Amino acid sequence: MNSVPLNLEEGEVRAALRDAASRLAETSDTPRLDAELLMAHALGVEREALLLDPTRFAVPQSFAGLIERRLAHEPIAYIVGHRDFWTIPLRVGPGVLIPRPDSETLIEASLDVARQRGEGWPRTVLDLGTGPGTLLLAALSEWRDATGLGVDASETALDYARSNAAALGLAGRAEFARGDWGEGLTDRFDLILCNPPYVAVSEDLMPAVADHEPAMALFAGDDGLTDYRRIIPGLPRLLAPGGVAVLEIGATQLTLVGSLAEQAGFAVQCRKDLAGRDRAVLLTPAA
């Protein structure tokens, strides 16, 4: 690891950012962005304000410690304590899966379905494996008359989800419960969202992910399909008439997940993410 200290003696933000980005180059694919985000966090300002006029600020002593944490591969989202997703900020920390932009594909696909279904759909939303409330709270921010339930096996994740719902003013429309996917649920929902673990246990992940984010939210058996095999057969009884389930998938999993869905009686459509990779399957009961 590069042990060159941060240039703090100058008291200049530009110099500190330059030095920090240089140190982070072997740790991060976005070293300059990381340095800027951590500086803004240390200063207690938005990144845009920092970049607009960095000469307004002196480098806080806490910045060096934040850089050391990032050099140890701790995710930026854990260090600053939040991650933006869709149009909402979400508080995150150790023990919860960090929301990814790829997962916004599920919300985009759901909005397309809602336009087809017409006004008033969906009224009820289920988010299986909600984590910090990611998909459920994004959905409820779009459909102001809808209510929803987020289920997760982790109490840590549910604590974050409840906190996020309260901060967003959505606590009155969002409930959260500890559970094992859809087991034990008796209600039916217009829209079911799910981002299950889908990484094979043999797959190598970046240290920021493998060493910090919860393994139970990432890995799913030898082929990455263990949780799909449990989730998909239970979806028909959870979908209300006219309902749709939207599940995130790995970029190479469409054929296998699609086959599992067809065996459970679903018609399958695929939605690609912004990079053109298969990212979500839309499941509707086959005619």
Is residue 184 over pLDDT 80? yes
Alpha carbon of residue 242 to chain centroid: 27
pLDDT digits (tens, 9 = 90+) for 145-171: 999 999 999 999 999 999 999 999 999
pLDDT digits (tens, 9 = 90+) for 103-112: 999 999 999 9
Per DSSP, which regions of 73-203 are E strands?
Answer: 82-85, 88-91, 124-128, 147-152, 174-178, 189-194
Kindly indicate the confidence band of residue 3, based on its pLDDT and cuts at 50, 70 and 90: very low
Q: Which residues pair with 115 in a beta bridge?
A: none
**In terms of C-beta density within 10 A (0-12 exposed, 13-18 middle, 19 or more buried), how is residue 274 classed?**
exposed
- Rg of the chain over Cα atoms, rounded to whole angstroms, equals 21
- 44-55 mean pLDDT: 94
pLDDT digits (tens, 9 = 90+) for 228-266: 999 999 999 999 999 999 999 999 999 999 999 999 999
Is residue 7 over pLDDT 90? no
Is residue 5 over pLDDT 80? no
Q: What is the pLDDT of residue 2?
A: 41
Per DSSP, which regions of the chain are E strands?
Answer: 82-85, 88-91, 124-128, 147-152, 174-178, 189-194, 239-248, 266-272, 278-285
Share of the chain above pLDDT 70, in %: 96
Choose the CATH number for 94-285 among 3.40.50.1980, 3.30.1130.10, 3.40.50.150, 3.40.50.300.
3.40.50.150
Q: What is the mean pLDDT of the chain?
A: 95
* CATH top class, domain 13-72: mainly alpha
SS3 154: coil
pTM, rounded to two decimals = 0.93
Whether the upstream peptide bond of residue 122 has omega within 30° of 0, thus cis, is yes
> What are the backbone angles phi and psi of residue 279, rounded to the nearest 5°?
-135, -25
Q: Which residues pair with 283 in a beta bridge?
A: 245, 268
- 60-66 mean pLDDT: 96
Is residue 40 over pLDDT 90? yes
Kindly indicate the confidence band of residue 181, based on its pLDDT and cuts at 50, 70 and 90: very high
Kindly indicate the confidence band of residue 287, based on its pLDDT and cuts at 50, 70 and 90: confident
In the chain, where are the structural domains located? 13-72, 94-285
